[in-house]
Amino acid sequence: MVINYSHVQTIIILISLIIGYTVWTYNAKSHLNRILASIVVCLVLIEISLFLFLRVRDNPKYIYPSIVIGSLGISFFPTSFYTLSLYYPIKRNIKLKVLYILYSGAFILSIIIIFSFPKSYAINNAEILNKILHLSFKNLPVFSLVSYLVLTFFTLVLLILAAKNFIICFKCDAIPYERRTIQLLVIFGIPLAFFLSIVSIINYFLYIPFPWLGFIIIAFTFFIVILVFRFRLIDIRRFLYGVFLYPALIAALVFIYVYLIVRNQKSIAEFLMVPETTAFVLEVFILYLVTMSIVRFFRPALNQPFISDTVKPIDIEALESISYATSLSELSQRLKMILKNYFKINSFILLIKDETSGLFKLIGTDLTPFKIRESDEIIQKLKYFKRGVSIEELLIHLNDRNIIKDIYSEGFDLIVPIFKEDQIIGLLFLPKPSRFRRWSYDDIASLNYLRILLPSLIARCKIYETEKEIERHQYRMEQMMVIGEMASDIAHEIRNPLSIIETSIETIMNSQIGEKEKERMLIYIQEETERVNIMLNKLLSLNFSHKPVFKNVDLYDLLNNLKDFLKYKLKDSNVTLNLKCDGKIMFNSDPDMLNHVFLNLILNSIEAMKEGGTINIDCRDTGTNIEIYISDTGPGIPERIRDKIFEPFFTTKHKGSGLGLAVSKKILESLYGTIQLEPRKRGACFKITIQKVE
């Protein structure tokens, strides 16, 4: 009994072509997408060769295309599978020259096979076997036999090397998910690839067209589909729609057109009383309308998820609520509510890039659960994707896997980069939506609203927090003013008991008073002394300084960070700050205390230039000292008060405390430095000199 495999083979070829096209076009930049698509193409070539080879007996003209197509598929299949082992789970440091040599060798081998193939012998032996055939190399040309042995050896070597690469990766730093995929490749993938290759070679060289080779190709194609989903290279919904639903719809329409319309074309034209050409145009137009109506009718159903616990789209009200955040901590809280309500996620991590160190840190702290820097490989890959990426998909593209292992161990499944222009300013780490479901591409796309909105919200929250920090500094200065006023009051209060004590002593020294009067005077002295002591204790409890902590300081970075901190204050005041340093200036000092001094001097200059102006900071390293000149284009300091500006409580401001420059001077003295006012025709200029210490 002769079995007709034409329809089955045609369906296999079409489905394989659709799978390869879908995998390739979904993400053409991905190496794995390209490799798996090339493997599918090799399977299609082998199947087409078999399809043609089974028809050689009836039509010998099929022999040459069968030889060409089959040789390409058989030669490139093991090469493509070996290439897969070089890119999964870790991309190996292999030179492209080696891959070029392998693929060139496969191509040359296919050319040799094409020209050495004995066409006449194949035609005489091409038949469907219905009983067991004892294979024999009798009458097989020697050159063809050598090609057979070379191709077999070439295939075995590449598949063995692929198995070796997968086994080595199994022993390396692979996460559990990757280990299961490697086990799948080693236990099922390698044997299936070996079996498919050997059967294909036997089918091709010994001219035994095994029809059931098509079923092996089906099995391996199904295995490729499993790998596609394991590698997270394509969304399951789009895959099923692209491979089954839409082709089925097209096939139904073609069937309707061919069997119902084309056969009755003349009758339809007569019924419509139009020429057949016009009837054909009308039929195509009607089919188009019917197709679009069907698609629109089923589109809501097609957009429904296959799993009931999917995420729901974020509405405008939720996005509006998150935009009200005025600090990063408040932004984090509002984001937590959105993720909980719309994505059923109770835990997440939002890291913000620290501009000074380049580290991504938790909001409001210097802590970071994952030591990720701007220069790390993971950041470069996220810039490449420009979207949320699952851990499994990201692992394929990374060589440094330590960070990903830490992220995976904490239970996170998705990383969403937050971009500001072309730079990543934040990272959002999310766990799986549920225990049995991972993030699909449609779910990741639903996060785009947040991903687009977050950069502006983070920038705005940083502006608010900077303004609040400046306000806190100004508040501290106001507190200093209050302390100054309080000190004046305390001095007045001390003066009163001192007068009483002085009067009491003078009275006691008078010998004309009695003992009771002297005792009463001594009691006055004791009471007023205690009163003074209490006031002094209160005054001493106000500590204006602390012991400096010396560390290595980069002066330019310190001043540049301060400039960045004050950028909105400077912009609002229409003040330009120019920073100039002669090279990299490093010295030992207390950066926090220096920052306080510089901040106080810059804020004084900003307040003095009410109409705007320029602040110039010039830094120099003289070898033994560090000199910093801070000058402005304001009204300057009058000559008559220049000698008093460093005195405590001296001020020309209406609400000034008179402690800013005095405290700055004390701080610099504790840092082995000095500050002095330089003579200038316009504006004020302060010179700070700091002695270098070991």
Give me the pLDDT at residue 536, please. 65
pLDDT at 227: 82
Pairing, β 613-621 against β 575-581: parallel
For residue range 580-630, list pLDDT tens digits in order. Answer: 887 788 899 988 888 888 988 888 888 888 888 999 999 998 888 899 999
Chain centroid to CA 457: 18
> What was the pLDDT predicted at 307?
42
pLDDT the model gives residue 686: 92
Q: Give 346-391 as a DSSP string.
A: ---EEEEE-TTT-BEEETTSS--SS--BTTSHHHHHHHHH-S-EEH
How does pLDDT run across 27-39, given as a tens digit for each residue?
666 777 888 889 9
Classify burial at 336, counting beta carbons within 10 Å of its beta carbon; exposed 0-12, middle 13-18, buried 19 or more: middle
* Cα(445)–Cα(88) distance, integer angstroms: 26
Task: Specify the pLDDT at position 539.
Answer: 53
CA gap 453, 541 in Å, rounded? 48
* 261-316 tens-digit pLDDT: 777 777 877 887 888 778 778 877 877 787 777 767 665 555 554 444 445 667 77
- The CA-atom distances, in angstroms, between 454 and each of 177, 275, 328, 336, 645 are 31, 62, 11, 13, 47
Tell me which residues of the chain have a pLDDT lower than 50.
1-3, 121-123, 125-138, 305-310, 541-542, 657
Instruction: Evaluate whether 147 touches 68 at the Cβ level (below 8 Å).
Output: no
Crossing angle (nearest 10°) for helices 213-230 and 190-205? 150
SS3 of the chain: helix, strand, coil, percent, to 5: 60, 10, 25
Beta-ladder partners of 687: 629, 676
How much is the pLDDT for 313? Answer: 64
pLDDT digits (tens, 9 = 90+) for 526-576: 777 876 776 666 555 445 556 788 889 999 889 988 888 788 788 888 999
The predicted pLDDT at position 629 comes to: 93
CA gap 626, 209 in Å, rounded: 88
Output the pLDDT for position 627: 92
Report the pLDDT value the prediction gives residue 490, as an integer from 0 to 100. Answer: 62
Tokens of 74: 């058989």
State the Cα–Cα distance between residues 415 and 418, nearest whole angstrom: 10
Coil vs helix vs strand at 686 = strand
| CA 581 vs CA 651, 677, 688: distances in Å | 31, 20, 14
- Helix, coil or strand: residue 4: coil
